[in-house]
Amino acid sequence: MQFWIIQGLNSLSLGGLLFLLSSGFSLIFGLMRLANLTHGAFFMLGTYLAATALRTYDGLNLWVTALAAGFVVAALGGLFERLVLTRLKTNPLGQVLVTLGMSFIISDACLMLWGGDSIPVPTPKNLQAPTRMLGFVFPTYRLVLVGLAIVAAIALYFLLERTRLGAMIRAGVDDRQMARAVGIPVSNLFTIVFCLGAGIAGAAGALGGPILSAYPGLDADMLPLALIVVILGGIGSLLGAFVGSFVIGFIYTFGIALFPELAYIILFLPMIFVIAFRPQGLFGRVGA
Amino acid sequence: MKWIAAALIGGSLLLPPFLAGDFYINLASQILIAAIFALSLNLLVGFGGMTSLGHASYLGVAAYLSALLTSQYGLGHGAAAIISISGTVAMAGFFGVIALRATGLGFLMITLALSQVLWGLAYRMSNVTNGDNGITGLTRPAPFGISLESPVSFYWFVLIITTTAFLMMTIFVSSAFGSSLKGVRDQPRRMAALGFNPWLIRWITFVYAGFWGGISGLLYVYYHKYIHPTSLSTTSSAEALLGVIAGGSGTLGGPAVGAALVLLLKNYASAYIERWNMLLGLVFLFIVLVMPTGIVPGFSRLTARLRGETR
């Protein structure tokens, strides 16, 4: 029983991280029609930044670090969007290719700066002790992580559904040209959304650090999971990203635990199923 | 003019065994293998308008199948080659059914996700694939009893196959089917209205590209006598895609030139610096921002302008 509970919690916490990662990816895709392949690298950069900060300055708070990492990655993403992506407005394929190129650059720069060994990120001291509930033992940090992901989901929902900025973003997702015509500064929105998505990915990377630790190839491990989540949940849909993340979190965690060699094949199945019967994804409004 | 250039390039491919040392002959063999791979990807990207980021799947799977069949199951090279290529084509057929549910960026994401799944499998299923250590101690085939161990004989072998591949793919895109493929790329709805089946045309092209990707994978594993999960990685797919785009997607010979440039860059750069991935990323940025239509179209535009001016 303990096994199922622990794995269940692991699934939830991975799902939470995947949600943070894929919600930004999905938002960027929905608004900008851009598959941002740098997203995994943004996540990894956040992890490395947090690892360095926390190991250099003892007693630094993980939450503050994650926030700072998010801002750094958001700033980098904003620069990239302004300097490179805006030049390729009329060339969607070119945009994807430069995001791919950028992901190679970032992951190789990480390898150069931090070396090939994995760097563990310390769990916050006050969350190291396990929580006991109903006779079971839970790793506290993972519980907190799940809570954080849910809070982030609610915050994003309010941002998109209840604020002026969110209304403009939704207008841009639904009909970019019409949004421009009524005076919404769509290209500024692009920058904002790209920064937001990159920042969430960076912060998620920092928060995921204590579970995953920083290692080269983390980006290549996370990006396909995010892609599968988005394909599954539907592109541009926050709810889709949420549901898809937890589905993939469970499938991947239990797959690794029960059939370690076949975990990747098991990831296939929901994706094939959804693509076969609902190519726009579970909650997608538009086909990709 | 075009024919003279083609004859010159074709003729120069016959020269390495007579002029160059083993190092350069081997380099030339690698270039030809990369050229087949890039040309097969170009069928999708350039002529079909389907940008795949998972083309390394076919190279890697064919190579792994051949490696496993010859080393673990003791099959001969002939049988192993046939089984590997059939397996790769079957997989391409299956992947095509999945990926072609979407077009454009959705297609790109699905092909990328599928290839990453295969890459993960190659790493993690270590009792079959030997994981990060790769499979070593492989051999080259000896067709008709001719050993391919020497660089020169291997070069001739690869050159024959590359020529065949180039001609077959040229015929493919120049045929009526090729025209309908280009039609589907540019105007899928009109083509559908004219009674063509865009999905089927794309799928056939997808499988055909997978077939040649598999052939290049066989040559790849014959050349290296070694196979590692990196051959299935996104980097491997991206190198080929860079070759296609740098050379000019949708041109007949461009991708081969692009693939040659990428391979040369990789070989020479890795002699001086370790940061191939970073360089690859920078080259991606450079090509997309500075010469988005590729080197070969850019060059032929340039020569056309020069000739126009001299007349």
ipTM: 0.80
* Amino acid letter, residue A214: A
**How much is the mean pLDDT over chain B?**
85
Q: Could you tell me which of A235, A27, A175 has the C-alpha nearest to residue B105?
A: A235
* pLDDT of B1: 60
**CA closest to A288 among chain B residues:** B106
* pLDDT of A45: 94
Task: Name the least confident of A30-44, A202-216, B5-19, B264-278.
Answer: B5-19
> pLDDT confidence of B55, banded at 50, 70, 90?
very high
| Average pLDDT rounded to a whole number, residues B262-275 | 81
| Of B117, B245, B277, Cβ closest to residue A107 | B277
Q: Does B292 touch chain A (CB under 8 A)?
A: yes
Q: pLDDT above 90 covers what percent of chain B?
A: 28
* pLDDT of A41: 93
Residue B75: pLDDT over 90: no
**Three-state SS letters, chain A:** CHHHHHHHHHHHHHHHHHHHHHHHHHHHHHHHCCCCCCHHHHHHHHHHHHHHHHHHCCCCCHHHHHHHHHHHHHHHHHHHHHHCHHHHCCCHHHHHHHHHHHHHHHHHHHHHHHCCCCECCCCCHHHCCCEEECCEEECHHHHHHHHHHHHHHHHHHHHHHHCHHHHHHHHHHHCHHHHHHCCCCHHHHHHHHHHHHHHHHHHHHHHHHHHHCECCCHHHHHHHHHHHHHHHHCCCCHHHHHHHHHHHHHHHHHHHHHCCCCHHHHHHHHHHHHHHHCCCCCCCCCCC
Q: Which of residues 252-291 of B touch A (CB under 8 A)?
A: 275, 277-278, 280-285, 288-289
Residue B110: pLDDT over 70: yes
Q: Which of residues 96-135 of A touch B (CB under 8 A)?
A: 96-98, 100-105, 107-109, 111-112
| Of B101, B104, B119, Cβ closest to residue A279 | B101
Residue B205: pLDDT over 80: yes
Residue B50: pLDDT over 60: yes
Please list the ranges in chain A whose pLDDT falls under 50: 287-288
Q: Which residue has the tokens 């461009």?
A: B254
With an 8 Å Cβ cutoff, are A37 and B125 in contact? no
| Residues of B with Cβ-Cβ distance to A226 under 8 angstroms | none
Q: Does A241 touch chain B (CB under 8 A)?
A: no
| Of A34, A231, A288, Cβ closest to residue B113 | A231
Whether the CB-CB separation of A171 and A178 falls below 8 Å is answered with yes
* pLDDT of B2: 66
Residue B310: pLDDT over 70: no
Q: Does B306 touch chain A (CB under 8 A)?
A: no
Query: What distance in Å separates residue A244's CA from the closest CA in chain B?
Result: 15
* pLDDT of A128: 75
Does residue A28 or residue B12 have the better pLDDT? A28
For A173-220, the pLDDT digits (tens) are 888 888 888 888 888 888 999 999 999 999 999 998 888 888 888 888
Residue B311: pLDDT over 60: no
| Of A35, A87, A263, Cβ closest to residue B108 | A35
* pLDDT of A285: 62
Q: Which of residues 254-283 of A touch B (CB under 8 A)?
A: 260-265, 267-268, 271-272, 275-276, 279
**CA closest to A105 among chain B residues:** B278
* pLDDT of A287: 44
Residue B86: pLDDT over 90: yes
For B149-183, the pLDDT digits (tens) are 788 888 889 999 999 999 999 999 999 999 999 99
